[in-house]
Copies of this chain bind each other. A is one copy, B any other.
């Protein structure tokens, strides 16, 4: 692949001039500029960004570290980040941690070696955050997405989880449900605790007392949803609704419903975080607290690049994104068992549902 020296030679110019033409910062006379541009075209010259990076100490690459791109929430985050990055000339190095600390450590280390200009990180659970601390000390800006590492003051863009859960509970109560259970995520995770907090707040504001019995701790994986839902459904006193703290567990919950022949929402209602199947063919259509994945990624990338370019305030900023409650049939009102209209929530959280088509039964 051609180098700047070859281009310079062919254009009868110096390497400095070629560089000036490429970067466009310094004025170059039209004639020379034309010669250089011709040479670049003729040689299909692509400036060696590696050499440039070494010299200017900037790579225009961002690391994107996430648990598993296969989880449908993260592609959106990635897209949001990438679109913003591309606009400003950055490329994304993406890597999956599989929620394994060791893998996260290796990846962060590799990214540091490769001198990415900054890292977008969805931290793995665990209190071992030393590699993150060290990376920051070395001067790499890091913006956390969706979660924050245990006990760390750091830039982050995340969902307003408390609000999401609270609005959801509020909707359930208004729709007529009172005995509402929650399947939480692992409570060592901030997200999980926040959602629980919102759930409790939602109950309290309606004057319903929070019962330990109705709080079951899951681990954000399908199987725990399945297991805990089964436990709930087999009780003598079944709750009338279940709030599930993420989408994957909701799948497990649905399976439990099927196996036990429990109908949703006729017997027990379901609402969950994450819009796991935002199309009309999912059955039953789930009422969900949806996260604006794209925006989270976009905001995160923007914040990160601002930091890189030094044009952001000094202290860590935590951005809380508004959740969207999407009301669908899994929390239909029980009062009139016939065809029902959506219960509209006039609160600040917007609601939108796909049009409800007639279902043949």
What 1/0 flags go to A48-84 for Cβ under 8 Å of B? 1111011000010100100011101011101100100
- Is the beta-carbon distance between B95 and A93 smaller than 8 angstroms? no
Question: In the complex, A46 Cα to B138 Cα: how many Å?
Answer: 10
- Is the beta-carbon distance between A49 and B91 smaller than 8 angstroms? no
Question: In the complex, A307 Cα to B357 Cα: how many Å?
Answer: 52
Tell me how many chains of this kind the complex includes.
Answer: 2
Given A75-B69, A114-B91, check contact A1 B282 (CB 8 Å): no
Interface centre among A46, A74, A255, A280 (most CB of B within 10 A): A46
A361 contact from B75, B92, B261, B361, Cβ within 8 A = B361
The answer to the question of A318 belonging to the interface, with a C-beta cut-off of 8 Å to chain B, is no
- Is the beta-carbon distance between A281 and B280 smaller than 8 angstroms? no
The answer to the question of A221 belonging to the interface, with a C-beta cut-off of 8 Å to chain B, is no
List CB contacts (< 8 Å) of A274-293 with chain B.
277, 279-284
- Contacting residues, chain B, for A59 (C-beta < 8 A): 50
Query: Quick one: closest B residue to A267, CB to CB?
Result: B360
Given A61-B93, A91-B95, A92-B94, check contact A114 B280 (CB 8 Å): no
List CB contacts (< 8 Å) of A231-269 with chain B.
251, 254-255, 258-259, 261, 263
The answer to the question of A187 belonging to the interface, with a C-beta cut-off of 8 Å to chain B, is no
- Is the beta-carbon distance between B255 and A114 smaller than 8 angstroms? no
A79 contact from B51, B69, B263, Cβ within 8 A = B69
A114 contact from B49, B109, B281, B360, Cβ within 8 A = B49
- Is the beta-carbon distance between B68 and A113 smaller than 8 angstroms? no
| A contact patch SS | mixed
- Contacting residues, chain B, for A139 (C-beta < 8 A): 1
The answer to the question of A134 belonging to the interface, with a C-beta cut-off of 8 Å to chain B, is yes
A282 contact from B53, B61, B82, B282, Cβ within 8 A = B282
Query: Quick one: closest B residue to A111, CB to CB?
Result: B91
A277 contact from B54, B86, B112, B277, Cβ within 8 A = B277
List CB contacts (< 8 Å) of A127-162 with chain B.
134, 137-139
A251 to chain B, nearest CB (A): 5
The 8 closest A-B pairs by CB, nearest first: A283-B283, A258-B357, A49-B113, A94-B94, A69-B75, A46-B112, A49-B114, A46-B113
Chain A to chain B contacts (Cβ below 8 Å), 14 pairs: A1-B138, A1-B139, A49-B114, A50-B54, A50-B115, A61-B114, A69-B79, A86-B106, A91-B95, A92-B93, A258-B357, A259-B357, A277-B281, A281-B283
Residues in chain A within 8 A of chain B (CB atoms): 1, 44, 46-51, 53-54, 59, 61, 64, 68-70, 72, 74-76, 78-79, 82, 86, 91-96, 106, 109-115, 134, 137-139, 251, 254-255, 258-259, 261, 263, 277, 279-284, 357-358, 360-361
Given A64-B94, A86-B95; 19 other pairs, CB 8 A cutoff: A1-B139, A48-B115, A49-B113, A49-B114, A50-B59, A69-B69, A69-B78, A70-B79, A75-B75, A82-B95, A91-B93, A91-B95, A92-B95, A93-B94, A251-B279, A254-B280, A255-B357, A277-B277, A283-B283
